[in-house]
Amino acid sequence: MEIRRQNDIIAFRAPGETPVAFHARNLEVADISEELWGEMTQASNDSLRSVLTDWNNEINPQTTTTVPGKEIRALTINVTQICNLKCTYCAAGGDGTYGAAQTKISVEKTLPQLKYFLEKVADSGTFRIGFIGGEPLLYPDGIRAIANYVKLMTAGRNIRAQFSIVTNGTLLTDENIALLEEIKCNISVSIDGEAKYNDAARPMKNGQGSTAVVVEGLKKLFARKENFGSITLHGVFTAENMHVAEAYEFYRQFPADAYEFTYSVSDLNQEASDTFTREMRLIAAMAYAEGGETALRKISFFNRIFSALDEQRRTENFCGAGKSFLVVDARNNLFTCPWDVGNDAMKVGQGTEVFEGALEEYSSPLIEQNNCQSCWARFLCGGGCMYVHKEATGSKHQKNGQFCERTRSLVGTAILYFKKSRQTDIQEDSDYGKH
């Protein structure tokens, strides 16, 4: 794919395809003529140059910016800091403990925390609770108690309580599935593909493979699919396993709502990073060829980009860390990111005490803190993951170049498919930029 740029106008061309342009601030996508494509490198025609300049300077009143509120509207809770797997790439202390094993969170200490945050939010909107571990289904009673309390505290307040869980899928018993049905949970099951890859990356602590158990659990889960919020299959890919396309083929045997493909947060191998990008482009092509936009948007990354372009909605923050989102670890400490758990230097509170001074660092938009103003993908990326940046550079606000390269490449791919799906032609003499 070839890319050309004039200020905030970016043009892409895939082999054998017509060029497509993107307005980085207005989030507008348009076909452009061969003449305009050429002008972006030659600068030889004043009339064509004027068209590009005018579009670049245009302000689209329909474009909006997502601004996180100052209320904490999402809490991710480590209901355990133990796990029954020993994943090779585990960033939670290598064993799900974050360096400090905790069999289960204290419900008695957690309910006052929930009360503290819930009493601070207005009587409207959504309040999100995410359950993670370790492996959260090792403590189903804790999940039930927390969910029931949140439902009680939001009843009659016009607040929608939404629950989600990230699980390794080995404990999808009938009893645990019934619990997830009770709370209409959004479920993300971690599995890195077929057994020959997943068993190597995600073994049980006794060394046995986990895939067969997970697949049996998935079958039971999907048999009751209509009783949950959504079901996502999620894989993590490292230099040791870059079989993204094979994982996609494996996932498609299940009627999941979404597929999530993540590059390992700690892998800095340039060759692996490039391979991941190629594999993601490959599965995009596979999905689009099979089912067009609908199939492509089952891949979470592409769905996020399509949604932002459809709504012309700019994102200034990769996530709501420290703004609208906090993490409660299994000892009831507060952090801004799940990966900071276990690092006392990153603690921003404990119990019902929030260290407001520590949160001040997170108040500005990430694209400003990370100096993303000149990046054409800034409003579709939101500055990138702070933890990924820190793993590579030592600072949350010094960017990981590999992450930025992958993101820009895949955003460009998404834009090409978005235009192909919409098929609205805009040439230099038309009302450019209105997809």
The residues, any chain, with a CB within 8 Å of residue 302's CB and separated by 6 or more, are 284, 287, 296, 414, 417
d(CA 122, CA 159): 8
pLDDT tens per residue across span 254-269: 999 999 999 999 889 9
Confidence at residue 310, expressed as pLDDT on a 0 to 100 scale: 96
Contact criterion met (CB below 8 Å) for 268 and 389: no
Largest Cα–Cα distance in the chain? 72
The amino acid occupying position 119 is E
Least Cα distance to 19 among 43, 6, 7, 1 occurs for 1
Q: Is 344 left (phi over 0), alpha (psi -120 to 50) or beta?
A: alpha
Confidence at residue 430, expressed as pLDDT on a 0 to 100 scale: 42
Q: Pseudo-torsion of CA 103, 108, 110, 115, nearest 10°?
A: 170
Confidence at residue 322, expressed as pLDDT on a 0 to 100 scale: 94
d(CA 143, CA 148): 9
d(CA 135, CA 54): 54
Contact criterion met (CB below 8 Å) for 150 and 114: yes
Confidence at residue 324, expressed as pLDDT on a 0 to 100 scale: 94
d(CA 351, CA 113): 6
Confidence at residue 80, expressed as pLDDT on a 0 to 100 scale: 97
The residues, any chain, with a CB within 8 Å of residue 285's CB and separated by 6 or more, are none
Confidence at residue 69, expressed as pLDDT on a 0 to 100 scale: 74
pLDDT tens per residue across span 224-239: 999 999 999 999 999 9
Confidence at residue 427, expressed as pLDDT on a 0 to 100 scale: 40
Domains in the chain with CATH codes: 2-64+411-422 (no CATH), 72-315 (3.20.20.70)
Match 């076909």 to its residue by tokens: 31
The residues, any chain, with a CB within 8 Å of residue 8's CB and separated by 6 or more, are 23, 24, 25, 56, 376
Contact criterion met (CB below 8 Å) for 153 and 123: no
3-state secondary structure 301-330: HHHHHHHHHHHCEEECCCCCECCCEEEECC
**Which residue positions in the chain have pLDDT lower than 50?**
424-435
Query: Which segments within 61-194 are labelled E, that is strand?
Result: 64-66, 74-78, 126-132, 160-167, 186-190
Confidence at residue 432, expressed as pLDDT on a 0 to 100 scale: 46
Contact criterion met (CB below 8 Å) for 415 and 428: no
Confidence at residue 433, expressed as pLDDT on a 0 to 100 scale: 42
Start-to-end CA span in the chain (Å): 21
